[in-house]
Amino acid sequence: MNRKKIYSNWFMVPAMAVFTIFFLLPMVISLFFSLTVWDFHSFTFCGFDNFKTFFSDSSLYSSIKNTMIYAVLTCVLKLFLAFFLAVFLTSKIKTKNFLRSVVFFPNLISTVAVGITFCALMHPSKGLINHVIELFGGNGMDWLGNTHTALYAVILTDVWKGVGVATVIFIAGMQSIDKTFYEAASIDGANAWQSLKAITVPLSRPAMNSVIILSFIGGLRTFELIWAMTGGGPGYATEVMASTVYKQYAAGYYGLSTAGNVIMFILIAILAFPLQKFLLSKEVD
Amino acid sequence: MKKRVVAVFMSAVFATGLIAGCSGSGDTDGAEKKDKDKDVTELSLLVDTANASTAGFEAVAKLAEEKLGIKVNVETRPGGTEGDNIVKTRLASGDMADLCVYNSGSLLNAINPKEYFIDISGEEFADRLDDSYKEAVSVGDAVYGVPYQSSQAEAIMYSKPMYEKYGLDVPKTWDEFLANCDVLKEAGETAILGTFGDAWTAQIPFLGDAYNLETNAPDFAEKFDAGEAKWATTPEALRSFEKLADTTPYYNEDYLATTYDDGCDMMANGEAGHWFILSKALTNIYDLYGDKVNDIGIFGMPGDDAANNGITLWYPVAIYGNKNSEKQEAILDFMEFYISDEALDAYTEAALPAGPYCVKGYELPSESYDAVAQDIQSYLDSGKTAPALEYISQVKGADCPTICQELGSGQTTAKEAAEKYDKDCEKQATQLGLKW
């Protein structure tokens, strides 16, 4: 690729300026402030004390654990659900367009609104979900109040909301698969399952990778839904990294919360880059 | 060449847009100045939604407009963590309203008031403040705020009809209290109403024990601030956490989802025996259910000594004046007016107090809810009251609600919670620059 450059490097200036001012610079500044105790006016340098405090905090470990559970589960569930939804929605059904809209619809609502709504639906004594369960003779439960189910209740809500985007990405990927593959396969006598396994899955790999990366990183950074539904509670049962950091910030521990952000950034980078590399290496043309 | 002309033109358009956008706020300033000429000064006031638009405040604000020509425009903010966040951010970015309603006590200490609020220690009206309240709105020698409303009891509400039905007496010791709860529980009633859906209410059993803590270990606050005493290693302090842990078996089934608002409904309708809460709930219940409020009585958190029963007082949030506002004079006038007898009378007429005012020489009116006029007043008469610890100590951990919610729902032990809270307080001490 040694073609002569058509465009001047100066074209990069606006983008680079924005990138530097709004991304690189704040990152360097936050690295600095994570080493201080500061209150917007003055700061005292404290070395790695903030990081020490963070790592000696038992709630940090449970929040990292919860974040991982959250990211992995939402990612896997979205992947499988979206894949089969997409297969269904690219098949020859009459209400295709309508159903596609229905699947995508939850994504149009603000996350906080979704959180508040589901919080009301999952209310142990007044919620619709428990009323329905009781109608069929079951015993309702305290979805968000029980420490063992709270996180999973939020995860299911996240999947409900996020599966639409994943489905749309899959649909786009599947539609770009050449129809002749399927024709050839059916001539060779492949049944639906075989052509799904041998054609659809490998050829929608790029779409699958996008879905995995997007929903995994989205899961790692999750905040709004947790905050709207449980506020990290009961106790620390659904605390994730972002909510821990936010709480430190709201409490006025700016240095500490900046350190938390740095930790979170490093963790996400450590997990996301190798994942992406691995997934891309598996892609076929 | 043509392209260049277009480019220059486009830049000009964007630049104009930017300038126009930025100058937007300047215009409103102009409008405010115009109002000044008409002898009406407008002050903005930032207050959390739970305290906004109380009938008492509205009455005083109306009076202030008539008498002083000061019109207060209320801006609301959420309470809890979000509220703290908004206050701190607006202070730091220089965007604070003229008047700010915020906690007194150690939480005030944590927002660095020296930088942002007007010191009123030199003003005459500051002498009207009750001494221990003055302490709670002071940092060092500087005094910053005037009480926004009456103080409250941080105590246990109980349902009088339920006490009559089961033949119970107001408990004198913690064990008696638990025995009462057992009776109610066995009878299938909700012994203690839990409203942990609003995490701040989970702190009340812990914070409300301050009277007992302060009488049993009078030097705890001082030693704690000095970093010498810890919650987990001081038996009297740990006792407060243990009491919270004791309450776990008695809550209503959906207590983790029940909110403060739900709680007011349930308490008013006699659906629960006890509720650990601030006495402002009486005002809310009165607004909703009228005279049913008198079915509710209040007693202080019982200690282990039957002879010494006292009640913990929760000091009101305060109004602070923005140091960087241009309307210093109007702000001070309003603050002075707000705690004048005239204003307090107007306040009381519009809303019955939930506890004593923090103003010297202003008596609690005899006409109030039974729980205030009889129960709380009897503690005041015998002098058996103490302010909550955060009005004496400088340090309150920010994660207190979560730690208490976790303990109250039985996920941790009292000891673990105390240790967690110690760590949490240590963060605050570091931020405040205390050497621990």
* Mean pLDDT of the B57-80 span: 89
Sorting pLDDT into bands at 50, 70 and 90, what band is A8?
Answer: confident
Q: So what's the pLDDT on residue B5?
A: 61
Q: So what's the pLDDT on residue A6?
A: 75
Say if residues B155 and B274 touch (Cβ distance below 8 Å): no
- Give the DSSP letter string of B137-154: TEETTEE-EEESS--EEE
Q: Which residue of B has its CA nearest to A125?
A: B254
B433 touches A at CB < 8 Å:
yes
- E strand intervals along B292-400: 296-299, 311-314, 318-321, 385-387
Report the distance separating Cα A15 and Cα A18, nearest Å. Answer: 5
- Closest approach of chain A CAs to the CA of B9, in angstroms? 18
Q: So what's the pLDDT on residue B168?
A: 93
pLDDT above 60: residue B181: yes
* Mean pLDDT of the B337-346 span: 90
pLDDT above 60: residue B292: yes
Tell the residue number behind the tokens 């803590």, with chain if given: B213
Mean pLDDT across chain A, nearest whole number? Answer: 89
pLDDT above 80: residue A3: no
pLDDT above 80: residue B231: yes
Query: Where do the H-state alpha helices sit in B41-200?
Result: 55-67, 80-92, 106-109, 113-116, 131-136, 160-165, 174-186
Q: So what's the pLDDT on residue B30?
A: 41
pLDDT, one tens digit per residue, over A179-226 is 899 999 989 998 889 988 889 998 998 899 999 999 998 999 899 999
Sorting pLDDT into bands at 50, 70 and 90, what band is B146?
Answer: very high
Give the pTM: 0.83
Helices and strands, counts by H and E, chain B: 20, 13
* Mean pLDDT of the B186-202 span: 92
CB contact under 8 A, B88 and A250: yes
Q: Which residue of A has its CA nearest to B86?
A: A250
- Give the DSSP letter string of B211-280: HHHHHHSTTHHHHHHTT---TTT-HHHHHHHHHHHHTGGGB-TTTTT--HHHHHHHHHTT-EEEEEEETH
Report the distance separating Cα B336 and Cα B339, nearest Å. Answer: 6
Task: Provide the terminal-to-terminal Cα distance of chain B, rounded to the nearest Å.
Answer: 69
Bigger pLDDT: B35 or B160?
Answer: B160
CB contact under 8 A, B430 and A37: yes
pLDDT above 60: residue A41: yes
Domains, in order of start, for chain B: 35-150+316-350 (3.40.190.10), 152-314+373-432 (3.40.190.10)
Mean pLDDT across chain B, nearest whole number? Answer: 87
CB contact under 8 A, A247 and B431: no
pLDDT, one tens digit per residue, over A211-270 is 999 999 899 989 999 999 988 878 888 999 999 998 888 888 888 999 999 998 898 889
Sorting pLDDT into bands at 50, 70 and 90, what band is B36?
Answer: very low
Q: Which residue of B has its CA nearest to A239?
A: B402
Say if residues B202 and B196 touch (Cβ distance below 8 Å): yes
**Which has the closest alpha carbon to B320: B55, B103, B48?**
B103
Report the distance separating Cα B151 and Cα B280, nearest Å. Answer: 9
Q: So what's the pLDDT on residue B422?
A: 93
Helices and strands, counts by H and E, chain A: 15, 2
Percent of chain B predicted with pLDDT > 70: 91
Peptide bond into A234 cis (omega under 30): yes
Q: So what's the pLDDT on residue B288?
A: 87
Tell me B187's DSSP state. T
Interface of B with A in 132-191 (CB under 8 A): none
Report the greatest alpha carbon distance in chain B. 97
* Mean pLDDT of the A149-174 span: 93
Phi, psi of A81 (to 5 degrees): -60, -50
Which chain B residues contact residue A59 at CB under 8 A?
Answer: 420
Sorting pLDDT into bands at 50, 70 and 90, what band is B4?
Answer: low
Domains, in order of start, for chain A: 48-281 (1.10.3720.10)
pLDDT, one tens digit per residue, over A46-59 is 888 889 888 888 77
Percent of chain B predicted with pLDDT > 90: 49
Instruction: Enter the tokens of residue B408.
Output: 């109250």
Say if residues A169 and A175 touch (Cβ distance below 8 Å): no
A192-196, B24-28, B202-206, B357-361: which range is least confident on average? B24-28
pLDDT, one tens digit per residue, over A170-183 is 999 999 998 899 99
B415 touches A at CB < 8 Å:
no
- Closest approach of chain B CAs to the CA of A160, in angstroms? 22
Sorting pLDDT into bands at 50, 70 and 90, what band is B15?
Answer: low
CB contact under 8 A, A252 and B88: yes
Q: So what's the pLDDT on residue B120?
A: 92
Q: So what's the pLDDT on residue B31?
A: 43
* Mean pLDDT of the B57-78 span: 90
